[in-house]
Chain A
Amino acid sequence: MQWLKRIRVILAIVSLTSISLLYFDFGNNIPFYLSSFILSTQVFPTIIDCLITGGTISVVLILILLSTILFGRIYCSTLCPLGILQDIIIRAKKLKNRRNRYRFKKPFYLFHYSLFGISLLLLFFGSTVLINIFEPFSTYGRILSNLANPIVVLVNNIFGNLIALIGFINLIHIPLLHVSISSIIGSFSIFALVGYLAFSQGRMFCNLLCPVGAFLGILSRYSIFKIVIDEKNCKDCGLCERVCKAACIKSKERSIDFAACIGCFNCLDVCPTVGMSYKRVSKRSTEIPVLIDEKRRQILKNSVLSILTYVIPDTLNIRSEANKTTYDESRKLPIAPPGAVDLKRFSNYCTACHLCVNSCPTQVLFPSLMDYGFSGIFQPKMNYNASYCNYDCVICGNICPTGAILPLDAQSKKEIQIGKVVFAKDDCIVITKKKDFGACAEHCPTKAVRMVPFEKLMLPEVRDNICVGCGACEHACPVIPRKAIFVVSNQVHQKAQKPEIKKIEQSFDSTQEFPF
């Protein structure tokens, strides 16, 4: 049965590489159909996409669920990027001549499943907070986006500068505008936790914190084929228990807790006889611990309620802040990218994987900290200090794996107003310095900002009905720190009127002589 492990390793390398490439696609060269196929292998984002935000039912998701029902959690060792990352860490430990020896550990089912239950409840009550933190794809995404990507970019830029001195222009300088310190710290902490658990405990993360692990674990209890120890052939050598990263083999009792098995097949690989194999199991061969009795149920209920009372008002806060008018207060609401539909909906379904942050060609998307409330930690917002939203670009929606940002075509994107332009005339340079200035109107793609005559000068004038809220004017405005022209978030995205198209009369007569 050794070929099983080989297949697992090859699949793991392929899937980890392709997911990682999405985070290093600096020129946006990967076509949408390919990226969405790669992303459809990720269980949780795809479930949100299929069941909640109205994406098409994914064949890949059905295959993954089927494979779990058939063979257990092989997903965890072949397609899950965070799982594979842990395997790499475990492997690296081995390279440093440190043996990995595991012993059976009683799984923490109560804790794990409670956490999963609470995550789900919170999701339906409108908060992705627990899923944001522990969902393996998003966690892996944040590690790449906030830790790996900036390092690669910095190395590229420093090295690029060196060879540019010699006279080549080969490595192109990549700006780094989407770096948020809080997001880096957050990603690093979870990376440290995952790394520590992997280094010392094997795949503990997957059986303690991971929501996908819990979900597939429940399914794999009812798997048709399970790994079992053959009573006749087993020589009681205990090798399988020692190599089990999930610590789910009790070799003395010749039993395997299949719900915790992550399908790495190391045990099959190491077994010197044919003592282990995949077998069709007619009835449950492993004892499944009683999960929840009455008392525990009560505790669970209380803890859920207490968390909900904390989180729900917090997410609702967004609503009450809508109608404030002063500069600072109106600027408190984050601006969500086109396709988010409304802030609350967006915050409900975004798992903060930061793929959009990484893919945005102008890098206007930026990881927020608490802008969407505590429950929306690390979710992206528009940052017009760094950049502005390109009028014709639709990448973020087309790459979003959960559908939190809906996929749009270029035309329908242009009709979405994510915020409204506000002009603070008294702060404008034309007024304060009495000098012509019009970078805001220059950059505006719809002429929602245009220049009108004003005391021998030209002064910006805004028409917010045709504004799309792209932030080009705000980005171009030189007044700091309080911009004289800025975008105020639309809590619910609205329809932008089409820019008025006035045909210029063809005044040019080509038969005439030159006017000079």
Chain B
Amino acid sequence: MNRRSFFKSGVGASLFFSSTIITKYDNLFSEPWKSEDLPFDLVAVKGGEPEIMFRKGIEAFGGIKTFIKNGQKVIIKPNIGWDVSPERASNTNPKLVAEIVRACLEVGASEVYVFDHTCDNWQRCYKNSGIEAAVKNAGGKMAPAHAEGYYHEVEIPRGKSLTKVKEHELILNADVFINVPVLKNHEGSRLTIAMKNLMGIVWDRGIWHRDDLHQCIADYATYRKPTLNIVDAYAVLKQNGPRGVSIEDVVSMKSLLISPDLVTIDSAAAKLYGMIPNDVRYIQLASDQKVGRMDLENLRIKRLTI
């Protein structure tokens, strides 16, 4: 094979594969379960280490196998936005992320990818958050998300302000998407929890800030529904968010929430933080747009203390 024929076949192959990928983008996640069939709408755990709280919490849903079938490709999206150390709680707890990776692999996930579209330099964020080492150790893979080429445009049919975004190709190709935000203070949007964390899987989020941040967060939630949301509230940044200035900004809460419903989990997390969910405008907007339910009093909640 000479060089010319190599390139020819290479271009041909890439065209072929790209066409298959583009057709694959049409399927959204297949749900092996219906939320009515799940035993609970929300599981709240407190008083333990992140790994133990996660294991106990997911057990209440019948284990992670309720959500993942053998051979499926899993994407885990923690918050890795900032180049700060784990104890500063600006990023998701690395122990929790690693434990989720392990749990997914145990039930036969084919691949587990972890990524975030970071704010600070991505390599430093991955490294200094402790998440890269923890994930690799657990058998998962860290994926890059720092360049526009990894993202592809999708329409948001029910969006009011936001009608299209560029979304990461791993999300577009995934079978299961687990959203693992950290609960923390945020000067721009009051609180960042599960819905706000989804900004880390899109490329052109500058527009969100410019248009109407709260409306855009709610709009995107009408389109992208994670398989499962796990809120890390082990250590919570209570001031100077989202980056934090020092360890003094952090309060230990040793809590964890699990729910497939974005609005439910954000409402519960806001209450846990000490705020009224209606005060966080995007939660209210998402509830109005029927993304999920914020009437916690009518929901089936499992409360666990370790």
Cβ of B288 < 8 Å from any Cβ of A?
no
Report the separation of the CA atoms of residues A433 and B248 in the bound assembly, to the nearest whole angstrom. 35
Binds A, one of B94-102, B224-232, B236-244: B236-244
Cβ of B165 < 8 Å from any Cβ of A?
no
Pairwise interchain contact B47-A510, C-beta atoms closer than 8 A: yes
Cβ of B157 < 8 Å from any Cβ of A?
no
We find that the number of chain B residues with CB closer than 8 angstroms to chain A is: 58
Contacts of A437 in B (CB 8 A): 188, 209-210, 213
Pairwise interchain contact B121-A164, C-beta atoms closer than 8 A: no
Contact of B251 among A439, A446, A507 (CB under 8 A): A507
Binds B, one of A73-81, A167-175, A315-323: A167-175
Contacts of B47 in A (CB 8 A): 510
Report if A390-B187 is in contact (Cβ < 8 Å); known contacts: A435-B211, A447-B245, A514-B272: no
Report the separation of the CA atoms of residues A510 and B305 in the bound assembly, to the nearest whole angstrom. 10
Most central of A436, A444, A478 by chain B CB within 10 Å:
A436
Most central of A458, A499, A510 by chain B CB within 10 Å:
A510
Dominant SS at the B interface? mixed
Pairwise interchain contact A164-B243, C-beta atoms closer than 8 A: no
Binds A, one of B26-34, B49-57, B64-72, B143-151: B143-151
Cβ of B83 < 8 Å from any Cβ of A?
yes
Report the separation of the CA atoms of residues A175 and B149 in the bound assembly, to the nearest whole angstrom. 11
Nearest to A504 among chain B residues (CB) is: B238
Q: Min CB distance, B92 to chain A, in Å?
A: 17
Report the separation of the CA atoms of residues A361 and B122 in the bound assembly, to the nearest whole angstrom. 9
Report if A442-B246 is in contact (Cβ < 8 Å); known contacts: A165-B14, A391-B83: no
Q: Min CB distance, A128 to chain B, in Å?
A: 30
B 120-152 binary contact with A (CB < 8 Å = 1; else 0): 110110001000000000000001101101100
Contacts of A447 in B (CB 8 A): 240, 245
Pairwise interchain contact B242-A27, C-beta atoms closer than 8 A: no
Which residues 418-458 of A sit at the B interface, judged by CB distance below 8 A? 429, 433, 435-439, 441-447, 450-451, 458
Report the separation of the CA atoms of residues A27 and B122 in the bound assembly, to the nearest whole angstrom. 11
Which residues 460-516 of A sit at the B interface, judged by CB distance below 8 A? 478, 499, 501-504, 506-508, 510, 513-516
B 234-275 binary contact with A (CB < 8 Å = 1; else 0): 001011101101101111111000000000000110011010
Pairwise interchain contact A390-B188, C-beta atoms closer than 8 A: no
Cβ of B106 < 8 Å from any Cβ of A?
no
Report the separation of the CA atoms of residues A164 and B21 in the bound assembly, to the nearest whole angstrom. 11
Report the separation of the CA atoms of residues A436 and B249 in the bound assembly, to the nearest whole angstrom. 23
Contact of A173 among B146, B251, B267 (CB under 8 A): B146
Q: Min CB distance, B144 to chain A, in Å?
A: 5
Report if A510-B253 is in contact (Cβ < 8 Å); known contacts: A438-B188, A478-B206: yes
Report the separation of the CA atoms of residues A446 and B240 in the bound assembly, to the nearest whole angstrom. 9
Contacts of B236 in A (CB 8 A): 508
Report if A446-B187 is in contact (Cβ < 8 Å); known contacts: A436-B213, A439-B209, A508-B253: no
Nearest to A503 among chain B residues (CB) is: B248
Nearest to A387 among chain B residues (CB) is: B121
Pairwise interchain contact B212-A435, C-beta atoms closer than 8 A: yes
Report if A165-B146 is in contact (Cβ < 8 Å); known contacts: A458-B187, A504-B239: no
Cβ of A162 < 8 Å from any Cβ of B?
yes
Pairwise interchain contact B243-A443, C-beta atoms closer than 8 A: yes
Pairwise interchain contact A514-B46, C-beta atoms closer than 8 A: yes
Pairwise interchain contact A504-B249, C-beta atoms closer than 8 A: yes
Report if A392-B83 is in contact (Cβ < 8 Å); known contacts: A504-B238, A516-B296: yes
Which residues 2-29 of B sit at the A interface, judged by CB distance below 8 A? 10, 13-14, 17-18, 21
Pairwise interchain contact B187-A451, C-beta atoms closer than 8 A: yes
Report the separation of the CA atoms of residues A362 and B236 in the bound assembly, to the nearest whole angstrom. 28
Pairwise interchain contact B146-A458, C-beta atoms closer than 8 A: no
Contacts of A444 in B (CB 8 A): 243
Most central of B188, B212, B303 by chain A CB within 10 Å:
B188
Contacts of B44 in A (CB 8 A): 514, 516
Contacts of B18 in A (CB 8 A): 165
Nearest to A175 among chain B residues (CB) is: B147
Contacts of A441 in B (CB 8 A): 187-188
Nearest to B188 among chain A residues (CB) is: A438
Contact of A513 among B128, B212, B238, B303 (CB under 8 A): B303
Q: Min CB distance, A296 to chain B, in Å?
A: 55
Pairwise interchain contact B46-A390, C-beta atoms closer than 8 A: no
Nearest to A450 among chain B residues (CB) is: B187
Contacts of B187 in A (CB 8 A): 438, 441-442, 450-451, 458
Report the separation of the CA atoms of residues A166 and B248 in the bound assembly, to the nearest whole angstrom. 47
Pairwise interchain contact A446-B144, C-beta atoms closer than 8 A: no
Cβ of A201 < 8 Å from any Cβ of B?
no
Report the separation of the CA atoms of residues A514 and B147 in the bound assembly, to the nearest whole angstrom. 41
Q: Min CB distance, A499 to chain B, in Å?
A: 5
Contacts of A433 in B (CB 8 A): 210
Contacts of A175 in B (CB 8 A): 146-147
Report if A27-B123 is in contact (Cβ < 8 Å); known contacts: A173-B149, A442-B186, A510-B47: yes
Report the separation of the CA atoms of residues A436 and B301 in the bound assembly, to the nearest whole angstrom. 34
Contact of B188 among A451, A501, A502 (CB under 8 A): A451
Contacts of B251 in A (CB 8 A): 504, 506-508
Contacts of B189 in A (CB 8 A): 436
Cβ of A67 < 8 Å from any Cβ of B?
no
Contact of B46 among A442, A451, A502, A510 (CB under 8 A): A510
Report the separation of the CA atoms of residues A499 and B18 in the bound assembly, to the nearest whole angstrom. 50
Cβ of A20 < 8 Å from any Cβ of B?
no
6 pairs of A and B residues whose beta carbons are closest in the complex: A438-B188, A173-B147, A451-B187, A165-B14, A515-B271, A516-B296
Interface residues of A (CB under 8 A from B): 27, 157, 161-162, 164-167, 169, 172-173, 175, 361-362, 390-393, 429, 433, 435-439, 441-447, 450-451, 458, 478, 499, 501-504, 506-508, 510, 513-516
A-B pairs with beta carbons under 8 Å apart, 18 shown: A162-B14, A361-B121, A390-B124, A392-B84, A445-B245, A446-B245, A478-B210, A504-B248, A504-B250, A506-B251, A507-B238, A510-B254, A513-B303, A514-B46, A514-B268, A515-B274, A516-B271, A516-B296
Supply 4 further A-B pairs (C-beta < 8 A) apart from A436-B212, A436-B214, A439-B206: A167-B17, A392-B83, A447-B245, A515-B272
